Amino acid sequence: MKVMKVNLAVATGNRHKLLEIAGLLETGQSGLFSPKDFPGFPEPVEDASTFAGNALIKARALATHIRTASPDHPFFAADSLWVLADDSGLAVDALDGAPGIHSARYASIEAGVEGNAPDAANNAKLLKALDAVPDDRRSARFICAMALLRLTPDPLPDEEHVFEGSCEGRITRSPSGSHGFGYDPLFVPDGHEQSMAALGDGVKSLISHRARALSQCRDFLNSCHTP
């Protein structure tokens, strides 16, 4: 029986996120690619009002760019071609859902700077915003939307799917832990006493918002390629 070859391009330049996705997906795909494998990829403007909308913007942009690559590019040497993009962030109840879709550039917006801000700057801004908020009102959740596109032959439209996951928790008053990235040092998941960064990758791979969204992606991809 022929084994179907699957290639997946992930629309992220964040090395931490790419490694996390690669570890969590476990689809047995033949190849994993990133925008670096397709030179000249223009970063799209993420101007949607939802995580799902921004994930679709990124996935569609990379799919469009991939089609400009040479037909002998290694990505095309597969039976099934997919593009995956995520948009994720932190929603804090006491801040009416902020930083939300602006999570990665939370501190940059205030400083009037383009692009994402360093994790430390975002964390510092969040702690300052919550300084007067009591411990019992610091509830928050991580949210992740995954857009999965199957590249189809022209002129057919690409097949699009969106999967979402979330993780409930609360924001601490100081960072802790050396694992993870983003707001992980400040976020304590429900049912735990340590931050996501202190719990480590093993626990995070089971309970994180990205893990839950990717679990749905993995199951869907496996269902597509199981004889």
Active site residue 87: yes
Nearest alpha-carbon partner for 218 in 45, 82, 103? 82
Sign for the pseudo-dihedral over CA of 150, 155, 156, 161: positive
CA distance to 38, 70, 119, 136, per residue, from 53 (Å):
23, 29, 23, 32
How many other C-beta atoms lie within 10 A of the C-beta of residue 36?
A: 10
Kindly provide the residue ranges of all beta strands, DSSP E only, lying in the chain, ordered along the sequence. 6-10, 31-33, 80-92, 139-150, 159-171, 187-189
Catalytic residue among 86, 87, 119, 184: 87
Q: How far apart are the first and last CA of the chain?
A: 9
Sole residue written with tokens 């983003």: 182
Contact between 10 and 19 (Cβ < 8 Å): no
Q: Listing from the earlier edge strand, what are the strands of the sheet with 80-92? A: 31-33, 6-10, 80-92, 139-150, 159-171, 187-189
Q: Which residues pair with 31 in a beta bridge?
A: 7
Element containing residue 65 per DSSP (H, E): helix 51-66
Which residues are identified as catalytic? 87
